[in-house]
Every structure is written in C-alpha cells, then in structure tokens.
Amino acid sequence: MNLENFYLIELPEIEDGIDGTISVAEGSHHIPFEIKRVYYIYGLENANAIRGKHAHKHLEQVIFCIHGSFLLGVDDGIHRKEMLMNRRNQGVYLGTGLWHTMTQFSKECVLLVLASDYYDESDYIRDYSEFKRYILNKTA
C-alpha cells in the first residue's frame, strides 16, 4: 500500500466540562491541504449501501465518521486494506490514486469529508478496470 497516500489523522479533542467536547480541523495544519470543499453523507439506512466506488487523479480528502461507524476499504491497485471508522476525532487521509469504498454503515451513521478542491467530474475514475490501467500507467 502506498502509505504516503493513506494514513490516520487524529484531531485534538478539547474537553469543556458540561459544555461538551470540540475537535478542530484546520486546513494546512491538522489537514495536509487547504480545504476547498466540505460535504457530509447521511441517510445510509439501507444495509446494502456502498459509497465511494471510485478513485481520484488529483483530489485529496480526509474522511471522518462523526456519528456511528462504517467500514472503509482502500485499494492502491495492488494491496487492499479495510478499517473500521468509529472515532469522531480520527480521520483517514486519502491521497490521489486510491480506490475507496465505504460499507457496513451503522444506524444514523454520518460521514464528514474535507476535500482539497472543488467538485470536478473529470478527476474521478469510476470504473475499477480503468483505475487498474491508470495505476499501471502511472507507475510505468
């Protein structure tokens, strides 16, 4: 697995007594890029739901599970790794050229994604065979 393109990011948790806890994610500080887009995914009540199923040529992301849990699958074209996402202050950095899927969502699961750029459909690789060819050409 290309480890420089995939690693955990742990945000600080600041306890404020009866007023709860806050975690902060600052672009180019806690997050390894300037944040240009933030989105969240919810309403994953169908047990067969699969999110992701794509890779990016240029976009970098950090994915958090801010409520509940899900299983994150990451594939660099050779190796595949799965990890349970269930800590609100722990995200996963997904660099370029990584196929990823999200499955096994718990009830009322909410994912938060911080992205390095604005939405651009041409940056997506949505076919796994095309992804494998892309990775092969990139490493050749």
CA distances from 38 to 3, 44, 45, 79 (A): 24, 18, 22, 28
What 3-state DSSP class applies to 16? coil
Residues 6 or more apart whose Cβ sits within 8 Å of residue 5: 76, 93, 94, 95, 96, 97, 98
CA distances from 27 to 56, 64, 95, 112 (A): 20, 15, 15, 14
DSSP 123: G
- Catalytic residue from among 29, 30, 54, 56: 54
Characterise 124 by phi-psi region: left (phi > 0), alpha (psi -120 to 50), beta (else). beta
- 54 is an active site residue: yes
Which residues are tagged catalytic? 54
